[in-house]
Amino acid sequence: MNNDNPFSDPSVPSLEWVRDTIAARYDILHQRRMDMVSACNKVAELFDLPLSLIPASAVFLRDRFKNFHPVHAGVTKRRVGNVRSLLLAAMREAGLSSSLAPYQCPLSPEWQSLYDQIEDRYRRTALSRFMRYCSRNDIGPETVTDEVASAYLEALEAESLIKGPRTNHQTVCRTWNQCIGDIDGWPDSRLEVPVYQDRLYSISEDLINPVLLAEIEKYFVFLEGKDPFDSPPRPFRPSSISSVRGNLLCYISALHYSDVDVSSMQTLKELVDFDMFKVAMKWFWDRNGGQTSKFTGEIAWTARCIAVKHLECDDETAEKFSIAISKFRKKEQGLSSKNNVSMQQFNDPAAVRRFLLYPGQLWQLARKETGKKALLLVQIAVATEILQFAPMRIKNLNNLRLDKHLSWIDGRLHIKLLPSEVKNDHELDYILPEGTTQRIKTYIDDWRSLFLPEANPYLFPGRNTKPKDTSCLRHQITGYLFKHTGICLTPHQFRHTAAKLLLDAKPGHYEVLRKVLGHKSLSTTYNHYAGAETQAAIELYDDVLVNLRQGDNAQDQLPRRKSRAQRNSDMDFLDPLNPFMKGNKR
């Protein structure tokens, strides 16, 4: 079932129909029936939607549960688990699910015999659902094939609420193959482990003409700026060159999938010819549903820079590229819609409190654990608290060194990053609070080198005297934060969160925010976060209306609500165009 909008299919009933159907099923034990009815009603409460608008579709429900956390509704994790289980049971009783077996469903004798021989707990867990599916559908171990595994995946997608049906399918196939030869009587038929790469399309460099590849490499050498007589005004950083390389490969791949023989091209001039540019960008346009995207715009810009800046095409062609770029590369004012949604989480004061107290929560949990699990909790607590008080980029965080970036002055930790280490060549210098300083010192003295050599100089050490893998640290920060607080946030979005919290509490303090985030220009800060005060502005407007509504009848009216301006009367409201307060306070 791959329908993204279940309501487009009139045959998909609503949960209201499921609830009413179960309520009328008097053949089901009374308590069981009432539990399933209650679970349906609870789903409406959890999602804040009427039951009539919630489709009885596993696809829809799985997507809604994916980013749902018990703390969002003030319930326990166990309660949510019970609701999910009872909801699936209700859908089965209503006839909407028939392939997958419930958890209590017994295995057939032949499957039970194989299951009992699996000693590894991970393998037992990985295969138990698949074994119940086969038992329910009269599929014996000897008849398991790739077709059976594919049918199992279809059943998972249509009837289950597990987060990753495809991941589960991959795990089943991989674990099945591992059991061959390890367990007596296990069927010899191997299953193909699927690789899901729906969005990957870059072709191998083997399909590109070696002459063209050589010219592309010369272009990258030019971008590095090693030759003072043949280099751009500002040399590119390695990370920027890596991005250009990726964009260029995607551009070539688009030509390949548009039936252009890229193996015959020998020069950059041929590659970024405007007619070729149109072919490639049309492929991206169609692939993205007839519209551009940020990624598409960056690819278009890369091709344009090669043609206009590097190869210096004629004025007429340069004008054509300019017109095309205006359509493909849209510059958005302020935060993206994705980041705006993330920042809306902090409109709730309870979420702000959970976020700020979260590092301390991890320290408390670490005291109850031992070994690497405890170390990981402490490490993520330290990384998160640094991002809260020093919202730097993840690459800078991961590469912090004890001998280079950290210094201790008057009982407080100073973190200093040189201009050459920062994306915009702007020095960063943070001073952390005493409590945070003490916790980081405890981490360094007692935890940092528990399982790795002390000679590793990095605050977050990895193997072979290198820092921890950046993607690993990123995923751990994001995953642990959601697990313990219900807040969805990437490490980079900590920077946006800093802006949100600061501007909510101190409206107009753009110059302060500029220094916190390390922007070179105040206009950069203002352009990014001018809309971050919308909620504060609405609250101020609400205060005005409430006070006007209450009027001057002091005897019969409730005490006036103190306005936001009064609550923040001790704040200097900084004019973004006059950040240094030259003149009167606004």
Give the CA distances from residue 186 to residues 128, 171, 483, 561, in Å, rounded to whole numbers and listed in that order: 15, 17, 38, 73
CB 536 within 8 A of CB 567: no
CB 52 within 8 A of CB 16: yes
CATH tag, 341-493: 1.10.443.10
DSSP 510: H
Q: Which residues of 383-418 are buried (b: 16+ CB within 10 A; e: fewer)?
A: bbbbbbbbbbbbbbbbbbeeeebbeeeeeebbbebe
Q: Average of pLDDT values for 107-131?
A: 93
Q: Report the pLDDT value the prediction gives residue 581, as an integer from 0 to 100.
A: 43
**Range scoring the smallest mean pLDDT among 213-217, 462-466, 525-529, 537-541:** 537-541
pLDDT band at 3 (very low <50, low <70, confident <90, very high): very low
**Using one digit for the tens of pLDDT, what is the confidence trace for 311-356?**
999 999 999 999 999 999 887 777 888 898 899 999 999 999 999 9
Q: 206: Cβ–Cβ under 8 A, 6 or more apart, which residues?
A: none
By CB atoms closer than 10 A (0-12, 13-18, 19+), residue 286 is exposed
The helix (run of H) or strand (run of E) holding residue 415 is strand 412-417
Residue with tokens 């020069």: 267
CA distance 508 to 487: 26
**Using one digit for the tens of pLDDT, what is the confidence trace for 522-544?**
888 888 887 667 777 777 788 88
Pairing of strands 428-431, 406-409: unpaired
Q: Report the pLDDT value the prediction gives residue 554, as an integer from 0 to 100.
A: 46
What does the block give as tokens for 576? Answer: 């973004």
Give the CA distances from residue 474 to residues 200, 225, 360, 373, 577, in Å, rounded to whole numbers and listed in that order: 22, 31, 19, 17, 36
Indicate whether 285 pLDDT > 90.
yes
Q: Average of pLDDT values for 400-412?
A: 94
Residue length, the chain?
586
Q: Report the pLDDT value the prediction gives residue 10, as an integer from 0 to 100.
A: 63
| 529 φ/ψ angles, rounded to the nearest 5 degrees | -120, 15
pLDDT band at 552 (very low <50, low <70, confident <90, very high): low
The residue ranges of every structural domain in the chain are 6-93, 109-179, 205-328, 341-493, 506-511+519-567
The pLDDT > 90 percentage for the chain reads: 63
CB 440 within 8 A of CB 432: yes
pLDDT band at 66 (very low <50, low <70, confident <90, very high): confident
pLDDT band at 310 (very low <50, low <70, confident <90, very high): very high
| pTM flag (> 0.85) | no
**Range scoring the smallest mean pLDDT among 89-103, 179-193, 240-254, 528-542:** 528-542
Q: Report the pLDDT value the prediction gives residue 585, as an integer from 0 to 100.
A: 38
**Using one digit for the tens of pLDDT, what is the confidence trace for 472-511?**
999 999 999 999 999 999 999 999 999 999 988 888 888 9
DSSP 264: G
